[in-house]
């Protein structure tokens, strides 16, 4: 035991003897950095985050854990040398943590979890191992992790307005479906109407024996509708005041203030894509692939990226292909696709129109052009 302690002490003296480039001071622990070029893997947990530090020779020089709070992480980040690369996965806390790291100076690499199969597909998984795997992958092959860049804190706060509105819309939809289902179980049905006017129109149609059970639900639906209308006004004002580029996107029929603002805030930077057609894969609106030799099965869309914006675009595509959709090149192309698509032609056409709509919106945002629904008419004129 004494020999082991003496060996550890000699190793500690060896580290301190070299020219230090920086110092980590984490409460009672203190160690010195021997050289530049560190890589840190940070496995972020809801309460505790584990980290693993590799030196320039890919050797583990320290492990530890910190509280997942600004007060717990900021002193540790500020002690890192500027040449350090910190690797973490996307998640609930990754946006504010990545901003803290960038303010402190080190390079930040935010990886997509699905791009790191050695972590999420591992049969023996723990936070300590995950932190080391993040550090090693981020050091050897960072491009394989599909690194992303989070939006700014201001954009994140504005996007929260749309996300809060969506939560109310989903709650209202669930309550409306509950009321309709309970009425249907008695052998009666409620007439079709819009979600906004449902509480008012359904009150007269509720059977007498169900009024005591369902009238409180109608009151909640009416209150939710009022809150959603307030959010709609706020979204409209937000788009006009801070994001005037949404007007370019709203030239397309079926794209309103919510969809246009969600598109701008989700993409965040219009120059992030080299080509507008790259927006489709970014939002998961392209078919998945599983080719192997001569086998190439037909798969559904990948559903990668932001699911909320993908849902909004599919809703806009449904309007364009619906009975009230205006005549435009996008509608004509979608209708032809629907006719020759077979049994599921309508659904496939809807997804295809949503993908082309995403490309069109990005093209309008980048170019600033006036949208022409039927280009051949303009060419003839």
**Domain ranges across the chain:** 2-145, 151-242, 244-288+300-381
Environment class of residue 2 by beta-carbon count within 10 Å: exposed (0-12), middle (13-18) or buried (19+)?
exposed
The whole-number pLDDT of residue 297 equals: 79
Give the number of C-alpha atoms closer than 13 A to the C-alpha of residue 339, restricted to the C-beta side: 6
Domain 2-145 CATH superfamily: YqgF/RNase H-like domain (3.30.420.140)
* Residue 213 CB coordination number (10 Å): 11
The whole-number pLDDT of residue 134 equals: 93
The whole-number pLDDT of residue 159 equals: 94
Pull the structure tokens for residue 3. Answer: 């020999």
β pairing state of 48-54 and 39-43: antiparallel
Distance CA 215, CA 220 (A): 9
Distance CA 263, CA 140 (A): 34
Residue corresponding to tokens 């936070």: 127
pLDDT in tens, the chain (381 residues): 445 554 444 444 333 333 333 444 443 333 444 446 899 999 999 999 999 999 888 899 999 999 999 999 999 988 888 889 999 999 999 999 999 999 988 999 999 888 888 777 777 888 999 999 999 999 988 888 888 888 889 999 999 999 999 999 999 999 999 999 999 999 999 999 999 999 999 999 999 999 999 999 999 999 999 999 999 999 999 999 999 999 999 999 999 999 999 999 999 899 989 899 999 999 999 888 777 777 767 777 888 888 999 999 999 999 999 999 989 999 999 999 988 877 788 889 999 999 999 999 999 999 998 998 887 666 555
The structure's pTM equals 0.81
373 three-state secondary structure: coil
The whole-number pLDDT of residue 4 equals: 54
The whole-number pLDDT of residue 18 equals: 35
The whole-number pLDDT of residue 377 equals: 62
């Amino acid at each position: 035991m004494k020999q082991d302690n003496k060996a550890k002490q000699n190793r500690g003296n060896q580290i301190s003897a070299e020219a230090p480039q920086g110092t980590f001071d984490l409460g009672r622990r203190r160690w010195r950095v021997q050289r530049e070029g560190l890589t840190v893997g940070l496995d972020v947990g809801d309460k505790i985050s584990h980290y693993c530090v590799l030196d320039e020779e890919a050797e583990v020089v320290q492990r530890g854990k910190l509280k997942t709070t600004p007060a717990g992480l900021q002193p540790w980040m500020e002690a890192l040398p500027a040449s350090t690369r910190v690797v973490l996965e996307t998640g609930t806390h990754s946006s504010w943590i990545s901003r803290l790291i960038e303010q402190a100076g080190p390079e930040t690499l935010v990886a997509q979890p699905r791009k790191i199969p050695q972590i999420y597909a591992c049969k023996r998984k723990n936070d300590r191992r995950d932190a080391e795997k993040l550090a090693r992958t981020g050091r050897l092959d960072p491009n394989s992790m599909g690194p992303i860049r989070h939006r700014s804190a201001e954009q994140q706060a504005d996007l929260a307005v749309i996300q809060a509105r969506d939560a109310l819309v989903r709650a209202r939809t669930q309550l409306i479906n509950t009321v309709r289902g309970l009425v249907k179980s008695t052998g009666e049905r409620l007439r079709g109407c819009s979600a906004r006017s449902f509480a008012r129109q359904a009150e007269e149609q509720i059977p007498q024996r169900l009024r005591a059970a369902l009238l409180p639900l109608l009151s909640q639906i009416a209150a939710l509708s009022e809150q959603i209308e307030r959010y709609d006004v706020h979204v409209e004002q937000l788009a006009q005041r801070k994001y005037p580029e949404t007007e370019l996107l709203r030239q397309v029929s079926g794209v309103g203030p919510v969809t246009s603002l969600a598109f701008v805030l989700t993409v965040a930077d219009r120059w992030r894509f080299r080509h507008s057609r790259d927006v489709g894969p970014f939002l998961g609106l392209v078919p998945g692939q599983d080719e192997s030799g001569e086998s190439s099965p037909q798969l559904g869309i990948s559903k990668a990226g932001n699911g909320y914006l993908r849902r909004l675009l599919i809703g806009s595509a449904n309007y364009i292909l619906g009975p009230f959709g205006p005549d435009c090149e996008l509608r004509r192309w979608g209708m032809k696709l629907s006719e020759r698509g077979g049994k599921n032609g309508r659904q496939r056409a809807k997804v295809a129109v949503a993908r082309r709509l995403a490309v069109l919106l990005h093209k309008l945002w980048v170019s600033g052009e006036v949208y022409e629904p039927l280009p051949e008419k303009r060419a003839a004129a």
